[in-house]
């Protein structure tokens, strides 16, 4: 049986470079729970397993620092990086979607945000902030989400209204959904995720061996891929989703696989991670509660 990481890494190599995005995933998923700072050498060792050259990693780290995502500190000849405020805030907002998200109870109501005459619609970061918060965009200047969705700070000056479409969503609700979110694309992405990581779940169930580095690599790549999908998923109420919505299966897979990867991946960090002060501090209890209902 082929090792389950082989096709996952092969697929990663076929995509445009995502080194910077993977670095942010490493921080948000594994390093923030352990103090937030990490030696550059740890990253170089990890990316070696992905066959990504040191120069590519160093360039990605420098770009992230220049763009305000990371902060760098030096101790002698060693470099250490931590998430800057921009990176911490972005991943903190994403964490609830990734690890804790549950579709809200459907009340038959939508929250509407309006930007009169398109005001603010082109503002830097506004569109991404609204989409990442779960809002859809059926018409220019209009954004919608199930009632109770948190409004991002970037949209604090929008006009807020509420609309009712009936307890089961109804035809009006379905038309709004189709116009606002590309659920077919999101569903296809979930199915591709399941196809990529189902062999890993089967490997673990059958008692297949994973080295500590394998466990860390699998954990990061799984969260990296899942994060890219779920942040585009508005997490609509169950009543508004198809009975075979693949997002449910994708979350179940993460809930099974992630806890199985944690012990080995944390051991790898114990042995290879370092901060300016020395060894990485241990993670708190919240790490072990991820994906648990």
Instruction: Provide the number of structural domains found in the chain.
Output: 2
Residues 96 and 223 in one domain: yes
Residues 65 and 8 in one domain: yes
Q: pLDDT by residue for the chain (293 residues), tens digit each?
A: 578 999 999 888 887 778 999 999 999 999 999 999 999 999 999 999 999 999 999 999 999 999 999 999 988 889 999 988 887 877 777 787 888 766 666 677 888 999 866 555 456 678 888 887 888 888 888 898 888 888 887 888 889 998 887 655 566 667 778 888 889 999 999 999 999 999 999 999 999 989 999 999 999 999 999 998 988 888 887 777 888 999 999 999 999 999 999 999 999 999 999 999 888 999 988 899 999 87
Torsional sign, CA 189, 194, 199, 205:
positive
Residues 30 and 131 in one domain: no
Residues 28 and 93 in one domain: yes
Residues 157 and 260 in one domain: no
Closest Cα partner for 269 from 82, 92, 43, 99?
A: 43
CA distance linking residue 274 with residue 121, whole number of Å: 43
Residues 291 and 208 in one domain: yes
CA distance linking residue 291 with residue 281, whole number of Å: 22
In a domain, 174, yes or no: no
In a domain, 177, yes or no: no
CATH number, domain with residue 275? 1.10.10.10
CA distance linking residue 113 with residue 110, whole number of Å: 10
Contact status, residue 217 vs residue 254, Cβ threshold 8 Å: no
Contact status, residue 93 vs residue 54, Cβ threshold 8 Å: no
Residues 144 and 259 in one domain: no
Q: What is the pTM of this model?
A: 0.86
Domain that holds residue 6: 1-103+183-293
Residues 223 and 291 in one domain: yes
Residues 88 and 122 in one domain: no
């Amino acid at each position: 049986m082929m090792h389950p990481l082989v096709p996952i890494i092969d697929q990663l190599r076929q995509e445009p470079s995502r080194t910077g995005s993977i670095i942010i995933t490493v921080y948000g998923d594994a390093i923030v729970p352990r103090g937030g700072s990490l030696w550059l050498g740890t990253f170089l060792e990890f990316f070696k397993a992905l066959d990504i050259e040191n120069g590519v990693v160093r360039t990605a780290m420098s770009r992230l620092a220049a763009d305000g995502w990371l902060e760098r500190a030096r101790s002698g000849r060693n470099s250490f990086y931590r998430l800057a405020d921009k990176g911490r805030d972005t991943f903190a907002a994403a964490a609830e979607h990734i690890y804790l998200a549950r579709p809200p109870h459907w009340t038959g109501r939508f929250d509407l945000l309006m930007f009169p005459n398109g005001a603010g619609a082109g503002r830097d970061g506004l569109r991404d902030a609204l989409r990442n918060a779960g809002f859809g965009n059926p018409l220019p200047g209009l954004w919608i989400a199930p009632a109770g969705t948190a409004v991002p700070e970037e949209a604090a000056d929008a006009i807020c209204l509420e609309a009712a479409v009936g307890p089961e969503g109804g035809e009006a609700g379905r038309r709004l959904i189709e116009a606002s979110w590309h659920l077919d694309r999101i569903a296809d992405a979930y199915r591709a995720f399941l196809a990529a990581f189902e062999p890993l779940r089967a490997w673990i169930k059958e008692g297949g061996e994973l080295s500590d580095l394998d466990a860390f690599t699998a954990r990061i790549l799984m969260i990296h891929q899942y994060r890219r999908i779920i942040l585009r998923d508005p997490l609509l109420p169950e009543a508004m989703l198809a009975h075979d919505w693949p997002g449910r299966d994708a979350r179940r897979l993460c809930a099974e696989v992630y806890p199985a990867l944690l012990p080995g991946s944390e051991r790898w960090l114990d042995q290879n991670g370092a901060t300016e002060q020395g060894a990485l501090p241990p993670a708190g209890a919240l790490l072990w509660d991820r994906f648990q209902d």
